[in-house]
Structure 1
Amino acid sequence: MTTTATRTRTEAAASRVPGAWGLGLHRGALEIRQFFRQREQVVFTFAFPVVFLFLFASIFRDKVGDTGVTASQLYVPSMLASGIMSTSFQSLGISIAVERDEKVLRRLRGTPMPPTAYFLGKIWLVLFTGILETAVLLLVGTTLYDVRLPSDAALWFDFAWIFVLGLTGCALLGIAISSVPRSAKSASSVVVLPFLVLQFISGVYILVDTIPGWMLNIGALFPLKWLCQGLRGVFLPDSAQVLEQAGSWEFGRIALVLAAWCVGGLVLCLLTFRWKDRRKG
C-alpha cells in the first residue's frame, strides 16, 4: 500500500510539472525581466529608431511628388519596419551568440528544460518588445508627423498579419545568424552590418523611388523591404503607392514573401543552430 501511495504521489507531482508551453511562458517572463534590468540596452533598443525617425523626418519634410504625403510621413512606417527587425533579428542574433559564447546555452541544454521552452521564451521577449517599440513609434508618428491611424478594420487586419509574419521571419533569421559569430565580441559586428545595409537598400533611410533598381532587387530577397512596403500600405494613402517599385502595395506578394521567410527561417534554424561553440565541439 505504501508503494502504491508513493507511486500515486509521484505521478500526481509529475502531472503538475509544466510542459514546454508553460515553461516557455516562465522563460519568457524571465527574459523580459532580464531585458529591462539592462538599462543601456533598453534605452538603445527603444530610442535608436525614434531618434533616427526624428532626424530624417525633420530634415526631409517636403511633399513627395503629387502623392499628397510628406517625406516625414513616409519615414514613419519605414522606421516601424526597422524597429520590428531591430527587436527581433538584431536582438536575437546578438543575444544568443553572447549566451552561446558564455556557455549559457550549454548549461541550459544540460537541464531537464525542453529546448522548445528556450525558444518560446525568446519569442515572448521579441513579441513584447516588438509591440512596445511599434506603439512608441506610432505615438511619435501620429503626434508629430500627422500620420493617420487606419479607420478601416481591413487595414488593421493587414497590419496584424504583416506584423506577425514580419516579426516571426526576422526572429527566425536572427536565431539562424546567431551561429555565425565566432565569439561574443564579434556578434555585434556580424549582425549589425547586414542589418544596416538592408536598411539602406530596403527603403528605410532612402526613399524607394531614389534607390537604384538593382539594389531594390537585392533588398527584395529579404523581409525588411516587404515589411516597409506593407506598413506604408497600411498607414499611407493609396496615392503614395506610385512611389513603390511595382507602383502598387502588392499585399499578396508581401504575404507570400514573409510567409516564405518564416518557413525558410525555420529551416535555417534547424540546420544551423548550435548549443555549443563550434570551436569547442
Structure 2
Amino acid sequence: MPRRRIFAAYLQETRAECLRYLRSPSFLLPTLLFPAVFFLMFGVVLAGRSTPEAPRFLLASYSTFGVMAPGLFGFGMSLALERDNGLLTLKRALPMPPAAYLAGKMAMAMLMAALITTLLQTLGLTLAHVQLQALQMLRLALVCIAGAVPFCALGLLLGTLVKGQGAPAMVNLLYLPMAFLSGLWFPLQMLPPLVRAQAPLWPSYHLNALAQSAVGFDTGSAWPHLLWLAAFTVVVLAIAVRRLRRHG
C-alpha cells in the first residue's frame, strides 16, 4: 500500500474516533467537567481558607487527574466493550493498518487532554486568579497532552484483561484510588507515611511532579519522572499489545 494511502487510513481512523466521542455527551461532558468541578470546589470556593499557593497547586494536580480519564475510560473501557460486541473483530477485517485503530484512540485521548487542560487553565486564571506566565501555561499544556499516553497504555492493558460489562467498575476501582494515593487530592505531606512511600509506584505521581514543576513548584529534576513514565509506557504497552494479539 502506498505511504499516502497508509497515512490517509491513519488520518481517517483518528478523525472517526475523535468525532465519535465528541458526539457522545455521556463521555465528553463527565470527562471534561469532573476535574473542573473539583477544581472549582477546592481551588476557587475553598481557596480562601488555605494557603495562597493552593489554587496553583490544585490547578496542576487536577490537570493530572483530568488527563488520566481519557486514556483509562476512552481507551480501556471502550476497548473492552468493542471486544465484546465484535467491533474490534470487524476493524481487524478491514483493509487498514492494524495500528490505526490504536492510534486513533490515542489521538482522541490526547485531544481530550488538551481540552481539559485548556478548561482548567481558563478557570484558574479567571476565577482562582492563579498567576502563570505564558511559558508556564504552554509547558503545563504540553505535559498534560503528552501525559495522556501512559494512561492510554494502561487503559489498553485493562481493556485486554476485563470484559465489557466489568470494565467501568474496574477502571473506577483503579482511577480514583490511584489519584488519591499519588497525592493529587491532598499534598503527600498530609498523608500517612505508608501512602507517601508507595506514591512513586503510580504513573500519576510522576506526571503530577512534572505538572507541578510546570507551574513553578520545585519538584527536583524532571528526568527521573520522564524516564519512569517512558519505561512504564513501553512495558505496559508491550504487554497489552501481546495480549491483544493472543486474545483479541
Larger CA Rg, structure 1 vs 2: 1
Whether contact under 8 Å (2:74, 2:105) holds in the other structure is no
Match of residue 24 from structure 2: 38
- What pairs with 1:189-228 in structure 2 (closer than 5 Å)? 189-228=169-208
Identify which of 53, 67, 78 aligns with 2:39: 53
Give the % identical residues: 24
Cα offset, 1:157, TM superposition: 7.3
The number of residues matched between the two structures is 247
RMSD: 2.3
Match of residue 6 from structure 1: none
Match of residue 255 from structure 1: 226
Change (3 A) 1:275 1:33: farther
Output the CA distance in 1 between the equivalents of 2:138 and 2:225: 14
Output the CA distance in 2 between the equivalents of 1:156 and 1:52: 20
1:174 aligns to 2:145 (yes or no): no
Change (3 A) 1:82 1:209: same
Change (3 A) 1:30 1:229: same
Change (3 A) 1:151 1:158: closer
Match of residue 143 from structure 1: 126
Change (3 A) 1:141 1:274: farther
Output the CA distance in 1 between the equivalents of 2:179 and 2:2: 48
- State the AA in 2 paired with 1:217: A
Output the CA distance in 1 between the equivalents of 2:9 and 2:41: 42
- State the AA in 1 paired with 2:182: S
1:18 aligns to 2:5 (yes or no): yes
Cα offset, 1:169, TM superposition: 1.1
Match of residue 186 from structure 1: 166
Cα offset, 1:156, TM superposition: 6.3
Cα offset, 1:72, TM superposition: 3.0
Match of residue 95 from structure 2: 112
1:124 aligns to 2:107 (yes or no): yes
Match of residue 80 from structure 2: 97
Cα offset, 1:250, TM superposition: 3.3
Output the CA distance in 2 between the equivalents of 1:151 and 1:36: 28
Output the CA distance in 2 between the equivalents of 1:33 and 1:219: 36
Change (3 A) 1:92 1:108: same
1:86 aligns to 2:93 (yes or no): no
Q: Greater share of helix residues, 1 or 2?
A: 2
Residues 215-256 of structure 1: per-residue CA shift (max 9 Å, x gap): 1332311210111121111113x4xx4xxxxxx333122112
Whether contact under 8 Å (2:55, 2:130) holds in the other structure is no
Whether contact under 8 Å (1:99, 1:105) holds in the other structure is yes
Output the CA distance in 2 between the equivalents of 1:84 and 1:267: 22
Cα offset, 1:162, TM superposition: 3.1
TM-score (norm: length of structure 2): 0.89
3-state SS of paired residue (2:160): coil
